[in-house]
């Protein structure tokens, strides 16, 4: 199996996996979404809320506010499977004390740990009118996406098989089929008498071009064992860390399964 990284930034990564199987790629995708630990606000104690927003909605907004959850931030924090994880006292404390008139933003959340804070400063949480007060204590904990969406580290985690476009040389060149491509991947070049493929990896395999060609000049398929994988995150964790952790988790699961099988499935 080969992996080629096509692009990578703080919150987005695209890579090609060659010579792999669908179940393996899908297992990585699922592990990345639901088995990679991430930090999010779990307990909220609303001492005072004069705003028009219901307490439940405010607590939900706080829970979904992305918090820095990279490897450095996660180090030493207890996981849901550890004893005492549920304790209110066990986690990273946040304070939110504001008075209107103002819009309260994510940057107003004061963390007890300088490493663990909102990823973005400008997420609006609630609007306070003149004289309205807000006094909230919250505790963030490490969790998994399988328990709640706030702990899913990926906002996009998808793959597609590597597209393949072929032309039927036995029929007349159908230049018009290129116009049907909604992504502008195909370009008619009458001078060189061919249709150029500008970026095959951008092809969604929608087959609009195939349907537009009456004589069957163009055909769109895919490579069975090659994949284009895209991971995007909310900025809480770099996509590379999500991928590496997902691979670790999958490896641990495979080891457990092998051990279980070796022991005759007795436990």
Does 206 bind ligand SF4 (CB under 6 A)? Our answer is yes
Q: For residues 157 and 29, is the Cβ–Cβ distance under 8 A?
A: yes
What is the distance between the alpha carbons of residues 44 and 93, in angstroms, rounded to a whole number? 10
Residues 60-99 that bind ligand SF4 (CB under 6 A): none
Neighbours of 215 (CB within 10 A): 12
Shortest CB 55 distance to ligand SF4, Å: 47
Which of 78, 135, 161, 208 lies at the binding interface for ligand SF4 (CB under 6 A)? 208
Shortest CB 218 distance to ligand SF4, Å: 7
Stretch that binds ligand SF4, among 97-105, 121-129, 133-141, 178-186 (CB under 6 A): 178-186
Total chain residues near ligand SF4 (CB under 6 A): 14
Provide the CA 70 distance to its chain's centre, in angstroms: 14
Which of 9, 112, 166, 204 lies at the binding interface for ligand SF4 (CB under 6 A)? 204
Stretch that binds ligand SF4, among 21-29, 31-39, 57-65, 177-185 (CB under 6 A): 177-185
Which residues of the chain form contacts with ligand SF4 (CB under 6 A)? Answer: 165, 180-181, 183, 185-186, 203-209, 220
């Amino acid at each position: 199996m080969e992996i080629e990284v096509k692009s990578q930034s703080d919150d987005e990564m695209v890579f090609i996996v060659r010579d792999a199987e669908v179940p393996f790629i899908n297992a990585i995708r699922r592990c990345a979404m639901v088995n990679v630990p991430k930090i999010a606000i779990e307990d909220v104690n609303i001492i005072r809320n004069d705003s028009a927003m219901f307490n439940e909605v405010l607590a939900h907004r706080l829970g979904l506010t992305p918090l820095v959850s990279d490897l450095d931030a996660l180090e030493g924090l207890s996981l849901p499977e550890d004893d005492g994880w549920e304790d209110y006292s066990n986690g990273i404390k946040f304070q939110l004390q504001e008075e209107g008139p103002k819009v309260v933003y994510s940057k107003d959340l004061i963390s007890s740990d300088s490493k663990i804070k909102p990823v973005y400063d400008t997420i609006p949480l609630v609007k306070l009118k003149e004289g309205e007060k807000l006094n909230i204590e919250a505790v963030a904990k490490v969790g998994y996406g399988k328990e709640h969406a706030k702990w899913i580290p990926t906002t996009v985690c998808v793959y597609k098989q590597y597209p393949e476009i072929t032309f039927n040389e036995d029929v007349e060149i159908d230049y018009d089929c290129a116009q049907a491509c909604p992504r502008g991947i195909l370009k008619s070049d009458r001078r060189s008498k061919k249709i150029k493929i500008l970026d095959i990896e951008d092809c969604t395999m929608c087959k609009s071009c195939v349907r537009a060609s009456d004589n069957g000049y163009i055909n769109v398929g895919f490579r069975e064992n090659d994949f284009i994988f895209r991971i995007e995150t909310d900025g809480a964790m770099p996509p590379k860390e999500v991928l590496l952790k997902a691979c670790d988790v999958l490896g641990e699961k495979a080891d457990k399964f092998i051990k279980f099988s070796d022991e005759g499935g007795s436990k």
